[in-house]
């Protein structure tokens, strides 16, 4: 499958939740956080837009350390 682009924000959040993130707060941006095995946390901030562009989504994955295949799996599973 190709990397998703121009996708609903709700599906992006569901995909990130499948990858271990949870929403911390929501406003103009949505703050998420993942607790790692080593006790650290991975923070992530995404824009709170109705749809997320592919380029923004790739940047989100890069910042969170999510590899392309893992996100695609989570995205397909969140449908």
pTM above threshold 0.85 = yes
Which DSSP symbol is given to 57?
H
List the CATH code of the domain at 7-77.
3.30.920.30
pLDDT, residue 45, reads: 95
DSSP string, 5-36: -SEEHHHHHHHHHHTTEEEEEESSEEEEEEE-
pLDDT, residue 59, reads: 95
- Give the pLDDT confidence of 24-66 residue by residue, as tens digits: 999 999 999 999 999 999 999 999 999 999 999 999 999 999 9
pLDDT, residue 1, reads: 76
Q: Looking at per-residue confidence, does 79 or 59 come out higher? A: 59
């Amino acid at each position: 499958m190709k990397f998703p682009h121009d996708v609903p924000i709700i599906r992006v959040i569901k995909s990130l939740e499948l990858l271990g993130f949870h929403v911390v707060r929501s406003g103009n941006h949505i703050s998420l956080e993942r607790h790692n095995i080593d006790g650290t946390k991975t923070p992530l901030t995404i824009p709170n837009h109705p749809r997320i562009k592919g380029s923004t989504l790739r940047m989100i994955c890069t910042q969170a350390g999510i590899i392309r295949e893992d996100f695609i799996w989570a995205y397909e599973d969140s449908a």
